[in-house]
Structure 1
């Protein structure tokens, strides 16, 4: 008797499966917080050069007057963030509503450091290690390092899970994330911070995938779509939770501790192209406006609804049409957003909301389809390989933002093109709607044969 048939006999969604989900879903949600943590711990606040006459001396002149003679204005008539006047320009005090050619005045970089706006965040790793101006690209490097860790962890821990068991590796990864996440909060240098975030990425992906497989493999095929929908919803709930936590804890080390310490408790319990736009939108909230706390919560709520919607469409339209529909919508919404001017913030946020909603639905649809395509004997290795390939996309997403120095819209064009290309590949995969879960490779071959025969029969009947 095959394992799928045995589950149907004893009950594929009983108390055991429910308890398993209750224990596993919170882990998935909090682990998801670590993926998007740099939205807040690496947020770039307003800043300008430190100037002695402005920031250390006292006198009868107001700060606005001192700022005018100390800091040049950029093309938007805002104080420069990375340069200051070599000497105080007292002649500027005699100009009334006129602005001289700043290129004629001698300036220099911020040799004495910067002054940051702490109204939104009391501190971030940007203010900690001055990751601005010539070093601004290092923020994208941090996000790349974490995603690279997820890629390596998906490959290594996928293999170890098959060899030594899911639960053992899960416990080890829970403890690893607890230690690495907590130590990150006390990182004394930027290099150590990057190394610890890489280690956290290795364990975070294993926690999500192992919980995923432990739940999915103990659920019969009739309930699998609903169960996978709940798992992906846990990721969205993690997004909302992170927005709330970041609003309360404005200091980056404290926020890092809050999302890491719970894994010390959890460690003692039993428990693809689409990732580019997903993390491209999720990890660049400041592109859409200043209220990134609200955006984090809204995007989390929208992705929750989208994943529930994906289950309904999956059951009615099948796996392939659902994936293609949502992937095309993702690409179109992102590409349309590149033509919207920055002043139309409401429209930009609306299009971004459509994009993040559709990409969440596309991920859920893909996960259901992928789980039904993989035979049980190879599922863990297949998920490990799939995680490795998808992490290539997730690691590439923040790194693509460095292309803004060449063309500001170039990263978003890439984010929009990727899902459209992925949608064109979906029809080459077999349809698995209402098909039993495959246990062996031979079962997969039989599924392909049945799918082709059903398609031929449908065409013949339609012609008749």
Structure 2
């Protein structure tokens, strides 16, 4: 049986229809860039100190003495404690000038009257509105982890729904979930409701990215597929990411910021009438007439006259026979080959996500302006995706991904050797690490889609993305290890990244091969052999030779 690329070769690779799909699907990813990382500003912690009631009638001099200094410093004031106010009030009545005595020995108490927050950078964040500081400081990172937990659940569910009910429905539905719940989140009355809604925002946030990626991979020709995955989707994500600090700079209230960031999602409603269902998926579901109608529609848009018959009777019978076979997540581990690929992909995606989000979420906290640091962290992704495209064209998938991971792990190991007084060098290395890991993330999307066959492709990419979200949930806690040893996070992330680089070397090369259609075709892939798998054409030749030998 001919593969899909052979049947549809008459459509061409880069006609008007392919250009429209390329740009519409890429544009749909734009909100993902700022929705996923908006917590950087929405959940940032402003400078704060214990609130002092105004009814104490303390002089300004005594008010300045109510907050103790952090032990070992001369200029940093405590953010979570104050001197006992009853003692301060009694002393102020006896000693009008606080310079006449040493107040450092006075007993301290927690911030019983709340906190005063600096508004130099923000008018409000979820931290300042709900006092997520001191004993409640764990709630800020937890809000982020809940979001990534939603992404984890979303990718797990959306992948299976997409393979069962269609790419287009899941793509559009998850975009609606992301936009709708972000709008509702603006009206959160408390932190608990905010977290619950953040979970649902996460369900839609990356699932629509995966669905758009799969639709484009299956509709566009293989010569455009890599460009679409790197320069199309990924750069759209990076542009959205770059808009985040720009918008956040002018909107300093977290509620208004989320509302503005949710509005672009409404612009994508008309896409339902322009983006078709994947013909590949329809064929594997036995919906031959629908697939043929879409292929003929593409031909008309490209100004091409389609052949009178797309599929012969034998091919139609084969497709109908295959359509009765349903596939579940179990099929991702059913055979030894696909099981090895799934396990390696799971580990690689998880480690990549730990490093990517560890670096992305920490860049606003580097020395310098938080908005500029965030912008540079986003802008570095544009040349990173361009580099990924060039690597995929010249070096193939396996060595491009493995090389990027080796370099990224090496950069992390080198950061620990930089003296603390060379902060500019540290920032530069962080940006280099971000560049390399971003390139690797772009490559792994393309590679994973080519490793899995059409019948479980969206599920395979979804499970891999689910592994990525597991890593993103873990990533904040890797950063927390720095409280015990500031070098430990870099050592662990560097070691894991180099481990993933080694694992990638066991995967097969997929460059210049047609997309696999069925799981049976994966039987020819030997995951632990350092060789390029044969193309579909080679497989057909081998089958013919096998039949002839059987005849003898």
TM over 0.5: yes
- Corresponding residue SS for 1:154: helix
Q: Residues 72, 15 of structure 1: CA spacing in aligned structure 2 closer, same or farther, 3 A cutoff?
A: same
Which deviates more, 126-135 or 266-275? 266-275
Please, which moves more after superposition, 259-268 or 22-31? Answer: 259-268
Task: Name structure 1 gaps, 5 residues minimum.
Answer: 457-464
1:57 Cα shift? 6.9
Q: Work out whether residues 173 and 207 of structure 1, in 8 Å CA contact, stay in contact via their aligned partners in 2.
A: yes
Q: 1:129 to 1:446 in 2, by over 3 A?
A: same
**1:265 positional shift:** 3.4
Tell me by how many angstroms 1:334 deviates: 2.4
> Radius of gyration: which is bigger?
2
Cα pair 2:396 2:509 within 8 Å, conserved? yes
1:33 alignment counterpart: 34
Which residue matches 1:130? 131
Match of 2:186 in 1: 185
Number of equivalent positions = 446
Does 2:383 match 1:382? Answer: no
Q: Partners of 2:487 and 2:387 in 1: how far apart? A: 30
Provide Cα deviations, 1:296-316, integer angstroms capped at 9, x if missing partner: 111111111011011112222
User: Does 1:69 find its partner at 2:69?
Assistant: no
1:245-295 Cα offsets, whole Å, 9 max, x none, are 111111100111111132233245236110111011112234312412111
The reply to whether residue 106 of structure 1 matches residue 107 of structure 2 is yes
- In structure 1, the partner of 2:369 is 291
The residue that corresponds to 1:176 in the other structure is 177
Q: Report what 1:459 is aligned to.
A: none
Deviation at 1:455, TM superposition (A): 9.7
Give the distance between the partners of 1:50 and 1:321, measured in 2 at CA.
57
Distance 1:268 1:191, change over 3 A: farther
Q: Does residue 417 of the first structure (1) align with residue 505 of the second (2)?
A: no
Give the conservation status (yes or no) of the 8 Å contact 2:154–2:207: yes
Distance 1:157 1:367 in 2: 16
Partner residue, 2:256: 254
Structure 1 residue corresponding to 2:439, chosen from 357, 361, 377 = 361
Structure-2 residue corresponding to 1:235: 237
**1:327-362 per-position Cα deviation (integer Å, ceiling 9, x unaligned):** 122222223323445543211210110111011011
Q: Kindly indicate whether residue 413 of structure 2 is the aligned counterpart of residue 335 of structure 1.
A: yes
Partner of 1:146: 147
Change (3 A) 1:8 1:119: same
- Contact residue 154 and residue 205 of structure 1 kept, 8 A: yes
Cα offset, 1:405, TM superposition? 4.2
Question: For residues 148-163 of structure 1, what are the structure 2 equivalents within 5 Å?
Answer: 148-163=149-164
Partner of 1:435: 513
- Cα distance per residue 1:209-266 (max 9 Å; x no partner): 1111111111222222111112112221121011111111111001111111322332
Give runs of aligned pairs for residues 42-53 of structure 1, distance below 5 A: 42-52=43-53
The root-mean-square deviation of aligned C-alpha atoms, in Å, is 2.5
Per the normalisation by structure 2, the TM-score is 0.76
CA–CA distance in 2 between the matches of 1:344 and 1:277?
22
Select between 390-399 and 109-118 the one with higher mean Cα deviation. 390-399
- Specify the SS of the correspondent of 2:112: coil
Secondary structure in 2 matching 1:84? strand
CA contact 1:141–1:399 (8 Å) conserved in 2: no
Show the 5 A alignment for 1:2-21: 2-21=3-22
Secondary structure of 1:274's partner? helix
Partner SS for 2:219: coil
* TM-score calculated relative to the size of structure 1: 0.89
Distance 1:246 1:94, change over 3 A: same
- How far does residue 120 in structure 1 lie from its aligned partner after superposition? 0.6
Extract unaligned runs of 5+ from structure 2. 276-348, 535-552
2:389 to 305, 308, 311: 311
Report the alpha carbon displacement of residue 441 of structure 1 after superposing the two structures with TM.
2.7
CA contact (8 A) 1:314 1:365 kept: yes
* Kept after mapping to 2: 8 A contact 1:131/1:139: yes
